[in-house]
Amino acid sequence: MFDQWELLQQRFDQIQQELLSADLPVSKRSTLQKESAAITTLLEQHKKVASVKKEIDVINEQLRETDDAEMRELCKDELADLERKYQSEIKELDLLLYPPDEHDDRNVYLEIRAGAGGQEAALFATDLLKMYKLYAENRGWHASIDSFYETDLGGIREAVLYIKGKNVFGHLKFESGVHRVQRVPATETQGRVHTSTATVAVLPEAKEVDVVINPSDLRIDVYRSGGAGGQHVNTTDSAVRITHIPTGVVVACQDERSQHKNKAKAMKMLQSRILAAQVERHQAEMSADRKKQVGSGMRAEKVRTYNYPQNRVTDHQADITLKRLDMVMEGDLDEIIDALMEKERVDRRSQSLSFLQNV
């Protein structure tokens, strides 16, 4: 827990003195007022924690001094209530000091692409898609495929999964990166283990206020969607491809039969990709002076290895290895993701608080 309360109080007093100046520019005054409000909230919460701790100390002292059985029982009951209150106040203070990522509660677009390894990489991408769909189902989230491009042998060249639910990005953002598989491909006649890869990108769903797109910056193309053949191939130009000219970001959607619906889905995906690029750029700036990769979403980073012969999965971010790959591929990702979330919490606490840099 943060222990520099004297420094924080000093910074608060310093701000109050600066705000008394009649020559303070309006923009500077507004910034200081916001900082003052944030520090006030922290100091008030810290006082609540200290107050409950003082009550606990008083009850513990009473327990040490009394031999009366009835009084001791009453003290123990009160102490249990105070301990619960203390933990609750500590948790609230912790959230104020080290707030989670502002996008953690967002829905996501999870993009999977086959990497190195030809058809085997495409088949591995199919396995990853199934794994994430099962994980979403286990958590009570809703998952739907927004776009899907398969290979001739049934693998995935590229797929986009839209996942909606509580705190989805907070759980899945660590999945961004290169996933490596080591196994004997079905086409291998000599039983040799091959290494292939697939790339995963997790984009927080953008809201209208996050990304404002000028229609004149878009190039929209419509075309006939492809699929597995027969009734799955549309006979009209319903598929939509949108290019954001300033950034070069391209999205496509052909999941719906309606061109209008595909365009609406593609626009949401485009906004989310642009938002993800902004978040990644901000994180890169924040971590330029330290080797911090967790949560950065850098796609060149190898995040996980799936070793089928040994039924082993290793997450390289959390430095955790499990000997139950079969269960992980059935969507049992909780142990890995819990470890990643805990590592992120530890990383957040290791960083200096911005308002102390001015002290």
CB neighbours of residue 182 within 10 Å? 15
For tokens 């000028």, name the residue: 214
Bridge-based pairing of strands 177-183 and 302-307 is parallel
10-14, 176-180, 274-278: segment of lowest average pLDDT: 274-278
Closest listed residue to residue 196, CA positions, set 207, 206, 186: 186
Residue 250: Cβ-neighbour burial (10 angstroms; 0-12, 13-18, 19+)? middle
Residue 212 CA, chain-centre distance (Å), reads 22
Q: What confidence tier does 278 reach under pLDDT thresholds 50, 70, 90?
A: confident
Closest listed residue to residue 333, CA positions, set 50, 141, 87: 141
Residues 6 or more apart whose Cβ sits within 8 Å of residue 305: 179, 180, 181, 182, 313, 314, 316
Closest listed residue to residue 336, CA positions, set 346, 357, 321, 323: 321
Interval 260-272: pLDDT, tens: 788 888 887 888 8
Residue 320 CA, chain-centre distance (Å), reads 19
Interval 113-172: pLDDT, tens: 999 888 999 999 999 999 999 999 999 999 998 888 888 877 899 999 999 999 999 999
CB 202 within 8 A of CB 135: no
Q: What confidence tier does 351 reach under pLDDT thresholds 50, 70, 90?
A: low
83-87, 153-157, 334-338: segment of lowest average pLDDT: 153-157
Tally of CA atoms within 13 A in the half-sphere of 21 that contains its CB: 12
Bridge-based pairing of strands 320-322 and 177-183 is unpaired
> Can you give the pLDDT at residue 2?
63
Q: DSSP strand E in 136-288: where?
A: 142-150, 156-164, 177-183, 194-204, 218-223, 239-244, 249-253
The C-alpha atoms of residue 174 and residue 243 are separated, in whole angstroms, by 27
